[in-house]
Protein backbone atom coordinates (compact mmCIF):
# COMPACT_ATOMS: atom_id res chain seq x y z
CA UNK A 1 0.00 0.00 0.00
CA UNK A 2 1.42 3.37 -0.98
CA UNK A 3 1.90 6.07 1.64
CA UNK A 4 -0.83 8.38 0.16
CA UNK A 5 -3.26 5.47 0.13
CA UNK A 6 -2.32 4.55 3.71
CA UNK A 7 -2.82 8.17 4.79
CA UNK A 8 -6.06 8.55 2.83
CA UNK A 9 -7.52 5.50 4.52
CA UNK A 10 -6.77 6.99 7.93
CA UNK A 11 -7.10 10.82 7.68
CA UNK A 12 -9.26 11.21 4.54
CA UNK A 13 -7.18 14.15 3.29
CA UNK A 14 -8.08 13.81 -0.36
CA UNK A 15 -11.47 15.42 0.24
CA UNK A 16 -9.72 18.54 1.60
CA UNK A 17 -7.21 18.46 -1.26
CA UNK A 18 -9.98 18.25 -3.83
CA UNK A 19 -11.80 21.11 -2.08
CA UNK A 20 -8.70 23.29 -2.19
CA UNK A 21 -7.99 22.39 -5.85
CA UNK A 22 -11.48 23.38 -6.85
CA UNK A 23 -11.53 26.51 -4.74
CA UNK A 24 -10.85 29.69 -6.71
CA UNK A 25 -9.70 33.11 -5.62
CA UNK A 26 -11.17 36.04 -7.58
CA UNK A 27 -8.66 38.08 -9.62
CA UNK A 28 -9.20 41.85 -9.81
CA UNK A 29 -7.31 45.09 -9.30
CA UNK A 30 -7.68 44.90 -5.50
CA UNK A 31 -6.77 41.23 -5.10
CA UNK A 32 -3.48 42.17 -3.39
CA UNK A 33 -5.55 42.86 -0.26
CA UNK A 34 -6.15 39.11 0.05
CA UNK A 35 -2.56 38.74 1.25
CA UNK A 36 -3.14 40.88 4.36
CA UNK A 37 -4.95 38.02 6.13
CA UNK A 38 -2.19 35.57 5.25
CA UNK A 39 0.47 38.02 6.43
CA UNK A 40 -1.31 38.42 9.76
CA UNK A 41 -1.56 34.65 10.10
CA UNK A 42 2.13 34.19 9.30
CA UNK A 43 3.16 36.84 11.84
CA UNK A 44 0.96 35.12 14.42
CA UNK A 45 2.83 31.87 13.77
CA UNK A 46 6.14 33.73 14.21
CA UNK A 47 4.80 35.15 17.47
CA UNK A 48 3.87 31.71 18.76
CA UNK A 49 7.22 30.20 17.84
CA UNK A 50 9.40 33.03 19.21
CA UNK A 51 7.11 33.39 22.25
CA UNK A 52 7.63 29.72 23.12
CA UNK A 53 11.40 30.18 22.88
CA UNK A 54 11.31 33.29 25.09
CA UNK A 55 9.20 31.40 27.64
CA UNK A 56 12.12 29.08 28.31
CA UNK A 57 14.12 31.88 29.93
CA UNK A 58 11.64 34.59 30.88
CA UNK A 59 10.74 34.89 34.59
CA UNK A 60 7.56 36.85 35.40
CA UNK A 61 8.49 38.46 38.72
CA UNK A 62 9.29 42.08 39.50
CA UNK A 63 12.74 41.08 40.73
CA UNK A 64 13.68 38.82 37.83
CA UNK A 65 11.71 39.88 34.73
CA UNK A 66 14.04 42.65 33.59
CA UNK A 67 17.17 40.64 34.35
CA UNK A 68 15.79 37.57 32.56
CA UNK A 69 15.13 39.61 29.40
CA UNK A 70 18.63 41.06 29.62
CA UNK A 71 19.94 37.52 30.04
CA UNK A 72 18.05 36.46 26.91
CA UNK A 73 19.54 39.40 25.02
CA UNK A 74 23.13 39.02 26.14
CA UNK A 75 23.77 35.41 27.20
CA UNK A 76 21.35 33.13 25.35
CA UNK A 77 22.63 32.12 21.91
CA UNK A 78 20.43 33.95 19.37
CA UNK A 79 18.27 35.14 22.28
CA UNK A 80 18.57 38.71 20.99
CA UNK A 81 17.29 37.58 17.58
CA UNK A 82 14.33 35.72 19.05
CA UNK A 83 13.37 38.70 21.23
CA UNK A 84 13.76 41.26 18.45
CA UNK A 85 11.84 39.12 15.97
CA UNK A 86 9.10 38.69 18.61
CA UNK A 87 8.78 42.45 19.09
CA UNK A 88 9.09 43.41 15.44
CA UNK A 89 6.65 40.79 14.26
CA UNK A 90 4.24 41.81 17.05
CA UNK A 91 4.26 45.38 15.78
CA UNK A 92 3.98 44.27 12.16
CA UNK A 93 1.14 41.93 13.11
CA UNK A 94 -0.83 44.81 14.60
CA UNK A 95 -0.16 46.83 11.45
CA UNK A 96 -1.15 43.88 9.24
CA UNK A 97 -4.34 43.15 11.16
CA UNK A 98 -5.29 46.85 10.93
CA UNK A 99 -4.69 46.93 7.17
CA UNK A 100 -6.61 43.64 6.84
CA UNK A 101 -9.53 45.17 8.72
CA UNK A 102 -9.48 48.32 6.56
CA UNK A 103 -9.32 46.26 3.35
CA UNK A 104 -12.20 44.10 4.52
CA UNK A 105 -14.20 47.14 5.59
CA UNK A 106 -13.78 49.13 2.39
CA UNK A 107 -14.26 46.00 0.24
CA UNK A 108 -17.45 45.35 2.25
CA UNK A 109 -16.34 41.75 2.66
CA UNK A 110 -18.42 41.65 5.84
CA UNK A 111 -21.68 41.45 3.88
CA UNK A 112 -23.87 38.40 3.80
CA UNK A 113 -22.94 35.56 4.28
CA UNK A 114 -19.65 36.62 5.96
CA UNK A 115 -21.04 38.46 8.99
CA UNK A 116 -19.71 35.90 11.46
CA UNK A 117 -16.29 35.94 9.75
CA UNK A 118 -16.22 39.71 10.33
CA UNK A 119 -17.28 39.29 13.99
CA UNK A 120 -14.48 36.82 14.63
CA UNK A 121 -12.07 39.13 12.81
CA UNK A 122 -12.92 42.18 14.94
CA UNK A 123 -12.61 40.14 18.12
CA UNK A 124 -9.23 38.88 16.84
CA UNK A 125 -8.17 42.51 16.35
CA UNK A 126 -9.09 43.25 19.98
CA UNK A 127 -7.20 40.15 21.11
CA UNK A 128 -4.16 41.25 19.08
CA UNK A 129 -4.19 44.69 20.71
CA UNK A 130 -4.53 43.02 24.11
CA UNK A 131 -1.53 40.85 23.22
CA UNK A 132 0.40 44.07 22.57
CA UNK A 133 -0.77 45.75 25.77
CA UNK A 134 0.01 42.80 28.03
CA UNK A 135 3.29 41.90 26.31
CA UNK A 136 4.60 45.45 26.57
CA UNK A 137 4.77 45.24 30.40
CA UNK A 138 6.63 41.93 30.54
CA UNK A 139 10.23 43.28 30.29
CA UNK A 140 9.38 45.35 33.41
CA UNK A 141 11.28 48.42 32.25
CA UNK A 142 10.52 52.04 33.11
CA UNK A 143 8.60 52.85 29.94
CA UNK A 144 6.55 49.66 30.13
CA UNK A 145 5.73 50.22 33.79
CA UNK A 146 4.46 53.76 33.38
CA UNK A 147 2.72 53.08 30.05
CA UNK A 148 0.83 50.27 31.76
CA UNK A 149 -0.01 52.59 34.62
CA UNK A 150 -1.47 55.15 32.20
CA UNK A 151 -3.15 52.46 30.07
CA UNK A 152 -4.89 50.84 33.01
CA UNK A 153 -5.94 54.27 34.25
CA UNK A 154 -7.68 54.81 30.91
CA UNK A 155 -9.41 51.46 31.34
CA UNK A 156 -10.46 52.75 34.77
CA UNK A 157 -12.39 55.54 33.03
CA UNK A 158 -14.89 53.13 31.49
CA UNK A 159 -18.27 54.24 32.85
CA UNK A 160 -19.73 52.24 35.74
CA UNK A 161 -17.36 49.26 35.61
CA UNK A 162 -14.08 51.17 35.09
CA UNK A 163 -12.90 50.93 38.69
CA UNK A 164 -13.58 47.20 38.84
CA UNK A 165 -11.74 46.67 35.53
CA UNK A 166 -8.77 48.71 36.76
CA UNK A 167 -8.45 46.61 39.91
CA UNK A 168 -8.99 43.43 37.91
CA UNK A 169 -6.28 44.35 35.39
CA UNK A 170 -3.76 45.50 37.97
CA UNK A 171 -4.50 42.84 40.54
CA UNK A 172 -4.89 45.67 43.06
CA UNK A 173 -4.89 49.43 43.23
CA UNK A 174 -1.40 49.90 41.80
CA UNK A 175 0.75 48.40 39.04
CA UNK A 176 2.78 45.83 40.98
CA UNK A 177 4.21 42.36 40.61
CA UNK A 178 0.60 41.13 40.79
CA UNK A 179 -0.06 43.07 37.55
CA UNK A 180 3.03 41.57 35.92
CA UNK A 181 1.99 38.11 37.00
CA UNK A 182 -1.52 38.38 35.58
CA UNK A 183 -0.39 40.14 32.39
CA UNK A 184 2.00 37.25 31.87
CA UNK A 185 -0.78 34.72 32.40
CA UNK A 186 -3.08 36.58 30.02
CA UNK A 187 -0.29 36.98 27.43
CA UNK A 188 0.94 33.40 27.34
CA UNK A 189 -2.14 31.34 28.21
CA UNK A 190 -5.52 33.06 27.97
CA UNK A 191 -4.93 35.10 24.81
CA UNK A 192 -3.20 32.33 22.83
CA UNK A 193 -6.02 29.90 23.69
CA UNK A 194 -8.75 32.36 22.70
CA UNK A 195 -6.88 33.48 19.59
CA UNK A 196 -6.26 29.92 18.42
CA UNK A 197 -9.96 29.08 18.80
CA UNK A 198 -11.17 32.22 17.05
CA UNK A 199 -8.48 32.07 14.39
CA UNK A 200 -9.48 28.47 13.65
CA UNK A 201 -13.11 29.55 13.27
CA UNK A 202 -12.07 32.58 11.18
CA UNK A 203 -9.93 30.51 8.78
CA UNK A 204 -12.59 27.80 8.54
CA UNK A 205 -15.20 30.40 7.64
CA UNK A 206 -12.86 31.95 5.05
CA UNK A 207 -12.46 28.52 3.47
CA UNK A 208 -16.18 27.81 3.59
CA UNK A 209 -17.21 31.13 2.03
CA UNK A 210 -14.12 31.77 -0.05
CA UNK A 211 -12.60 35.19 -0.69
CA UNK A 212 -15.08 38.01 -1.04
CA UNK A 213 -15.10 40.07 -4.22
CA UNK A 214 -15.49 43.76 -3.43
CA UNK A 215 -18.81 45.35 -4.46
CA UNK A 216 -18.66 47.11 -7.87
CA UNK A 217 -15.31 45.56 -8.71
CA UNK A 218 -15.48 43.41 -11.80
CA UNK A 219 -13.72 40.09 -11.56
CA UNK A 220 -12.74 38.65 -14.89
CA UNK A 221 -11.33 35.37 -13.82
CA UNK A 222 -10.39 33.23 -10.86
CA UNK A 223 -7.15 31.71 -9.70
CA UNK A 224 -6.85 28.26 -8.14
CA UNK A 225 -6.43 28.56 -4.38
CA UNK A 226 -4.11 25.55 -4.43
CA UNK A 227 -1.34 25.67 -5.38
CA UNK A 228 -1.15 29.16 -7.02
CA UNK A 229 -2.62 31.38 -4.29
CA UNK A 230 -1.00 29.40 -1.50
CA UNK A 231 2.36 29.63 -3.26
CA UNK A 232 1.91 33.39 -3.66
CA UNK A 233 1.02 33.63 0.03
CA UNK A 234 4.16 31.67 0.95
CA UNK A 235 6.24 33.89 -1.33
CA UNK A 236 4.95 36.96 0.55
CA UNK A 237 5.69 35.23 3.86
CA UNK A 238 9.25 34.42 2.82
CA UNK A 239 9.88 38.03 1.78
CA UNK A 240 8.31 39.19 5.04
CA UNK A 241 10.56 36.86 7.02
CA UNK A 242 13.56 38.49 5.34
CA UNK A 243 12.17 41.92 6.24
CA UNK A 244 11.65 40.95 9.89
CA UNK A 245 15.19 39.48 10.06
CA UNK A 246 16.54 42.72 8.59
CA UNK A 247 14.67 44.88 11.09
CA UNK A 248 15.55 42.64 14.05
CA UNK A 249 19.25 42.74 13.22
CA UNK A 250 19.68 46.34 12.16
CA UNK A 251 17.10 47.99 14.41
CA UNK A 252 17.07 46.07 17.71
CA UNK A 253 14.73 47.13 20.52
CA UNK A 254 16.38 48.80 23.47
CA UNK A 255 15.59 47.25 26.83
CA UNK A 256 15.85 50.57 28.70
CA UNK A 257 16.11 50.83 32.46
CA UNK A 258 14.54 48.52 35.02
CA UNK A 259 11.19 49.78 36.31
CA UNK A 260 11.33 51.62 39.62
CA UNK A 261 7.85 52.35 40.98
CA UNK A 262 9.30 54.95 43.37
CA UNK A 263 10.52 57.15 40.52
CA UNK A 264 8.30 59.69 38.83
CA UNK A 265 7.07 58.96 35.32
CA UNK A 266 9.62 59.83 32.62
CA UNK A 267 8.97 63.01 30.64
CA UNK A 268 7.22 62.60 27.29
CA UNK A 269 5.77 59.21 28.23
CA UNK A 270 3.69 57.81 25.35
CA UNK A 271 1.94 54.52 24.76
CA UNK A 272 2.91 52.28 21.87
CA UNK A 273 2.04 53.66 18.44
CA UNK A 274 -1.08 51.52 18.08
CA UNK A 275 -2.68 53.08 21.18
CA UNK A 276 -1.40 56.56 20.48
CA UNK A 277 -4.49 57.81 18.60
CA UNK A 278 -6.70 56.92 21.54
CA UNK A 279 -4.32 58.44 24.10
CA UNK A 280 -3.88 61.63 22.07
CA UNK A 281 -7.62 62.08 21.54
CA UNK A 282 -8.32 61.61 25.26
CA UNK A 283 -5.58 64.14 26.11
CA UNK A 284 -7.11 66.71 23.79
CA UNK A 285 -10.55 66.47 25.35
CA UNK A 286 -11.49 69.25 27.80
CA UNK A 287 -11.75 68.31 31.48
CA UNK A 288 -15.55 68.72 31.38
CA UNK A 289 -17.68 68.01 28.36
CA UNK A 290 -21.48 67.96 28.18
CA UNK A 291 -21.55 68.08 31.98
CA UNK A 292 -19.46 64.90 32.23
CA UNK A 293 -15.80 64.17 32.83
CA UNK A 294 -14.14 64.64 29.40
CA UNK A 295 -11.91 61.57 29.56
CA UNK A 296 -14.76 59.30 30.64
CA UNK A 297 -16.90 60.60 27.81
CA UNK A 298 -14.01 59.95 25.39
CA UNK A 299 -13.60 56.37 26.60
CA UNK A 300 -17.36 55.88 26.21
CA UNK A 301 -17.18 57.28 22.66
CA UNK A 302 -14.36 54.86 21.77
CA UNK A 303 -16.39 51.97 23.20
CA UNK A 304 -19.40 52.96 21.13
CA UNK A 305 -17.19 53.25 18.03
CA UNK A 306 -15.80 49.78 18.77
CA UNK A 307 -19.33 48.40 19.11
CA UNK A 308 -20.35 50.08 15.84
CA UNK A 309 -17.33 48.50 14.14
CA UNK A 310 -18.23 45.08 15.49
CA UNK A 311 -21.82 45.31 14.26
CA UNK A 312 -21.10 46.92 10.89
CA UNK A 313 -22.44 43.91 8.93
CA UNK A 314 -25.82 44.37 10.60
CA UNK A 315 -25.84 48.18 10.36
CA UNK A 316 -24.87 48.32 6.66
CA UNK A 317 -28.16 46.99 5.29
CA UNK A 318 -27.30 48.23 1.78
CA UNK A 319 -24.36 45.87 1.47
CA UNK A 320 -26.74 42.92 1.64
CA UNK A 321 -28.23 44.20 -1.60
CA UNK A 322 -24.73 44.50 -3.13
CA UNK A 323 -24.96 48.29 -2.85
CA UNK A 324 -22.19 50.58 -1.65
CA UNK A 325 -23.72 53.27 0.58
CA UNK A 326 -21.75 56.52 0.88
CA UNK A 327 -22.44 56.76 4.67
CA UNK A 328 -20.21 53.80 5.49
CA UNK A 329 -17.47 54.78 3.07
CA UNK A 330 -17.39 58.34 4.46
CA UNK A 331 -17.50 57.04 8.06
CA UNK A 332 -14.64 54.64 7.29
CA UNK A 333 -12.49 57.31 5.65
CA UNK A 334 -13.22 59.75 8.52
CA UNK A 335 -12.26 57.12 11.11
CA UNK A 336 -9.06 56.33 9.20
CA UNK A 337 -8.12 60.00 8.91
CA UNK A 338 -8.88 60.48 12.61
CA UNK A 339 -6.62 57.58 13.61
CA UNK A 340 -3.79 58.73 11.32
CA UNK A 341 -4.06 62.41 12.37
CA UNK A 342 -4.18 61.60 16.10
CA UNK A 343 -1.23 59.22 15.74
CA UNK A 344 0.84 61.88 13.97
CA UNK A 345 -0.10 64.45 16.62
CA UNK A 346 0.76 61.95 19.34
CA UNK A 347 4.14 61.18 17.77
CA UNK A 348 4.92 64.87 17.50
CA UNK A 349 3.84 65.35 21.11
CA UNK A 350 1.33 68.09 20.22
CA UNK A 351 -1.59 68.69 22.51
Q: Which residues bind another protein (CB under 8 A)?
A: 70, 73-74, 80-81, 223-224, 227-228, 231-232, 234-235, 238-239, 241-242, 245-246, 249-252, 254-255
Q: How far is the CB of 248 from another protein (least distance, A)?
A: 9
Nearer to another protein, 84 or 295 (CB): 84
Q: How far is the CB of 145 from another protein (least distance, A)?
A: 18
Distance CA 116, CA 110 (A): 8
Strand bridging mode 288-289 / 24-27: unpaired
Going 152 to 155 to 156 to 162, the CA torsion angle's sign is negative
Q: Show the beta-strand stretches assigned E in 268-344.
A: 288-289, 292-293
C-alpha distances (whole Å) from 85 to each of 172, 183, 204, 288, 306 are 33, 20, 28, 43, 30
Non-local CB neighbours of 227 within 8 Å, separated by 6+ positions: none
Nearer to another protein, 73 or 281 (CB): 73
Q: How far is the CB of 13 from another protein (least distance, A)?
A: 21
Provide the greatest CA pair distance for the chain. Answer: 78
Nearer to another protein, 250 or 262 (CB): 250
Q: How far is the CB of 114 from another protein (least distance, A)?
A: 26
Distance CA 104, CA 162 (A): 31
Nearer to another protein, 159 or 227 (CB): 227
Nearer to another protein, 233 or 316 (CB): 233
Helix, strand, or coil (residue 222): strand
Strand bridging mode 221-224 / 288-289: unpaired
Q: How far is the CB of 138 from another protein (least distance, A)?
A: 17
Rg (CA), the chain: 22
Helix, strand, or coil (residue 99): helix
Nearer to another protein, 239 or 327 (CB): 239
Cβ contact 73:180 at 8 Å: no
Nearer to another protein, 68 or 128 (CB): 68
Q: How far is the CB of 251 from another protein (least distance, A)?
A: 7
- Which residue, 101, 160, 162, 151, is CA-closest to 126? 101
Q: How many residues does the chain have?
A: 351
Q: How far is the CB of 232 from another protein (least distance, A)?
A: 6
Bridge partner list, 27: 221
Q: How far is the CB of 197 from another protein (least distance, A)?
A: 31
Nearer to another protein, 185 or 242 (CB): 242
Amino acid sequence: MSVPSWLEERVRYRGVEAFLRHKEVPRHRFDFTYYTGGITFFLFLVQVLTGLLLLMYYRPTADAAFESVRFIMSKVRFGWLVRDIHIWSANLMILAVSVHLAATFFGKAYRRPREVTWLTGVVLLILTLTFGFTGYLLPWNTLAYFATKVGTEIAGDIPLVGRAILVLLRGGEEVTEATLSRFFGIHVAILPALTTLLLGAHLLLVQVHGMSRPIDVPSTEGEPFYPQFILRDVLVWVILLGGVALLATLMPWDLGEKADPLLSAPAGLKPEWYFLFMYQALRMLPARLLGLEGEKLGVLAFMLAGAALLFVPFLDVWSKREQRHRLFTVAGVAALLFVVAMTILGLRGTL
